[in-house]
A = this chain, B = another copy of it.
Amino acid sequence: MEGDVIKSILEAYRTGDIDLESAMAKLRHWPFEELGFAKVDHHRSLRQGFPEVVYCEGKTPEQVASIMLHIKAHSGQAMGTRASAEKFEAVKKAIPSANYHKMARMILLQPPVINEKLAEIVVLSAGTSDMPVAEEAALTAEAMGNPVRRIYDVGVAGLHRLLAQLPILEKAGVLIVVAGMEGALASVVGGLVAKPVIAVPTSVGYGTSFQGITALLSMLNSCAAGVAVVNIDNGFGAGRLASLINQKGVVD
């Protein structure tokens, strides 16, 4: 599809519709919009299959609202992550239809539309404290159209709670495992089922949990093949990757 863009630019130049300088400028790839403090990438939905996502931390409420407004003008849907209630208020004023998901700390401009033909993405968490990250992953996957099943508080210290869910795991399209502390859940899940497992270490724990480093290292060294890892507390990244995998062969 991108090829078409380039082709049309060259064709316009050959026919004289645009001059050399314009052709060169356009060829420097794809369009974005300059806000001064940010360059909104309107064609990301074309290129990446979903609208630009606004990482709200380190931006003022006004910047967040302004960026989401510009994205909405082009794409309809938009997503804000790591959003405080205060930043949502600023967005809400600009875009009354916006919704806030408190536990996931996310803003969505429209409710998710689920494609029921897709397999389920199953999100597991080891403990109750891992839920904010798990919810960010789950909601991201839903916002991209995937059916999501949540299975929380199934840490390996009570293995039977996990084993009781085995039939569901075996029917999933992708598994997201969210765990802090020693992060052993990823290895156990990866050993039980032959599915892609995306492991998300969380900063839950104390002392030598080192704000998630221990869980991260544990997951990277999983003795089960088929496990890959994202950054600590990066529920969004896990949800996005799970969606890319889950929609393979369906919307590809």
Contacts and interface: CB of A to CB of B under 8 A. Distances in A.
Contacts of A27: 6, 27
Which residue among A23, A161, A201, A250 has the maximum number of chain B CB atoms within 10 Å of its CB?
A161
Interface in A8-66: 10-11, 13-14, 20, 23-25, 27-30, 32, 37-39, 41, 44, 47-49, 53, 57-59, 63
A21 to B, nearest CB: 10
A225 to B, nearest CB: 4
Nearest to A198: B228
A128 interface: yes
Given A47-B194, A156-B187, A221 B39 contact: no
Contacts of A59: 128-129
A241 B221 contact: no
Interface in A200-239: 201, 203-234, 236-238
A3 B170 CA distance: 10
A186 B207 CA distance: 18
A157 interface: yes
Nearest to A6: B24
23 contacts: A1-B164, A13-B13, A25-B164, A37-B131, A38-B128, A38-B152, A57-B206, A58-B127, A58-B128, A63-B128, A155-B223, A156-B156, A156-B187, A156-B223, A157-B191, A182-B183, A203-B207, A207-B231, A208-B220, A208-B232, A220-B229, A226-B237, A245-B248
